[in-house]
Amino acid sequence: MFLVQLDVTVVNIALPAIGGQLHAALSSLQWIIDAYTVVLASLLLSGGAIGDAFGHRRVVMSGFAAFGVASAGCALAPSIDLLIGFRVLQGIGAALLLPGTLAVITRTFPERREQARALGVWAGVSALALPAGPLLGGLLVGLAGWRSLFWINPPLVALAILACLRVVPRSGRTGRRVDLGGALTAAVALAAVVFGVIERMPAAAAVAVVAVAAFAVVERRATDPMLPPELLRSRQFVGANLVAGAMNFVGQGTILVLTLYLQGVLGHAPLAAAVLMLPGFLPLAVLAPVTGRLTGRFGPRPLMIAGLAAGAVSMLNLLRVGPGTGYGTFVPTWAGLGLGMGLLTAAVVAAAVGGVPGERAGVASGVNNTARQASGSIGVAVLGTIVGEPVRHDAFVAGMHTVGVLGAALWVVAIAITAGTVR
């Protein structure tokens, strides 16, 4: 999980070095990020369904292997086109891997209280990747060059595969067939949505609408649908995934906005900006395991409501931020948002997985991860568009005020959804 999340953020700081060595244009550099995130978001649902059909232990190790091979390919890539191609393969491996991490946990710890505690550890390790990405990226690029960012993955992948062989229980095939039609149409729909928002292409919206309609038809006729109707009849499952989407839309989008503010408005260097973001990243990482324990004891709803309330209040603090107000005015927003997401992450995952039968853990985790990853990518694109370029300080700060009101409103709506759907 740490590796999957790390490769979303660690490459950002290396883009200038990559562009200089491989003679890449800005549009190509953007696709080094998007090729990974779009493929990951598009295939997560399929990855969960494949794991349910063939056994999550086997699929997790296959995902590790693909991720490790792709990482070595990225490190060796002699051209920008090959680098982007191997980033696509990394995204495929990550999409096989990520739903399986949740499914393995839920099957290893079927008792709800113990499961919630385990999910807290999972969420905490995931959260550590957010601050580690920029810090580790800046350190490695300075010491050993951008290729070292990808060379760190293969040995860690080899250790993870050995650990899976030793400690993860075997899981046999369930007899379910992989719904190829559903997997294809879902992947096209999700890719079109995320790609259309990132690239601001209205034509992609039409493709997404057609793909969603095709997915609905295919699922209605499938003997073993990838997204079983009983999952959508669970109010808790649907509600938890809506909240998960709102969490990442606001959270990841705001991280981008705050990073741009630190660098483009306050004038900090990239590595210094990463250090100044620690007041939000640290509570996010530290609180997640604690939240898992509290979720196991009290259930997910109180933690979700508390986290959403803290985040909504902190987003309103952006209304106090101006071009010259400095770090002291900025930091309550980020610290409060980190606190809110730290309370939310483990609880919202536990609510989603707890709302479906245990044998559907793979699909449930795939849907939840899809909701979070796709919404995070869309949030980055939408909130980034609202604030614009930070060179125009006054317009950028006015956009930040809009982001604050929008983020607070979305999380207040999420509180109402939580109260009405989550046990």
Taking residue 206's Cβ as centre, other Cβ atoms within 10 Å add up to 12
Determine the pLDDT at residue 173.
64
What distance in Å separates the CA atoms of residue 154 and residue 145, rounded to the nearest whole number? 17
pLDDT at 172 over 70: no
Q: What residues have CB less than 8 Å from 316, skipping those under 6 apart?
A: 404, 405, 408
Quote the radius of gyration of the chain (alpha carbons, Å).
Answer: 20
- Count how many residues are written for the chain: 423
DSSP-H helix ranges across 55-179: 56-76, 80-108, 112-144, 148-151, 153-167
- Band of the pLDDT at 151, cuts 50, 70, 90? very high
Question: For the stretch 326-357, what's the b/e string if a residue is b when 16 or more beta carbons lie within 10 angstroms of its beta carbon?
Answer: eeeebbbbbbbbbbbbbbbbbbbbbbbbbbbe
User: What is the identity of the amino acid at 350?
Assistant: A
Determine contact, residues 3/67, Cβ cutoff 8 Å.
yes
Determine contact, residues 268/276, Cβ cutoff 8 Å.
yes
- The residue written with tokens 């292409």 in the block is 201
pLDDT tens by residue, 317-355? 999 999 888 888 989 998 999 999 989 988 998 899 888
**Token duo for residue 334:** 């980020």
Model pTM score:
0.82
- Band of the pLDDT at 250, cuts 50, 70, 90? very high
What distance in Å separates the CA atoms of residue 328 and residue 100, rounded to the nearest whole number? 41
What distance in Å separates the CA atoms of residue 207 and residue 205, rounded to the nearest whole number? 5
Q: What residues have CB less than 8 Å from 318, skipping those under 6 apart?
A: 333, 400, 401, 403, 404, 407
pLDDT tens by residue, 86-126? 999 999 999 998 888 888 888 888 887 888 888 888 888 88
